[in-house]
Structure 1
Amino acid sequence: MGTREILENALRLKPQERLALVDMLLESVDRPDRKIEEIWNHEALRRLAAYRAGKIKGIPLEDVFAE
């Protein structure tokens, strides 16, 4: 089966199925580094805890986009 035939078959899928296929294809060529994902997850949790504890303040979305 060639690329053209695969594309034609893929275009017959429902939009949600096509998006899932795109995600799977992208992941197959650009696998995330699990160690980096763990580091970012830890950092996100640390920042969330600091925000909830009142140690840092959030920035309103409008202010972020105004810059």
Structure 2
Amino acid sequence: MNLPELEAEALKLPVAERARLAETLLASLDELSEEEHRRLWTEEATRRDAELDADPSRGRPAEDVFRDARARLR
């Protein structure tokens, strides 16, 4: 079974069972080694960088990002 098939099957579960599955999957991420965390974050940063290179209009000026973040903290 591939990931899209697994996702489709998981989405057929009742809400409580989906929540339990999500909790189990999230807890499994806490068990990753520091090296695995680093690798996953590097992959995510690379993916986001490629996404921004492909469509620069999706980016936001840093000053806007920081302004919005400060507003949320108030």
Q: TM-score normalised by the shorter chain: which range applies?
A: 0.3 to 0.5
Q: Normalising to structure 1: TM-score of the pair? A: 0.47
User: Normalising to structure 2: TM-score of the pair?
Assistant: 0.43
Which structure: larger Rg? 1
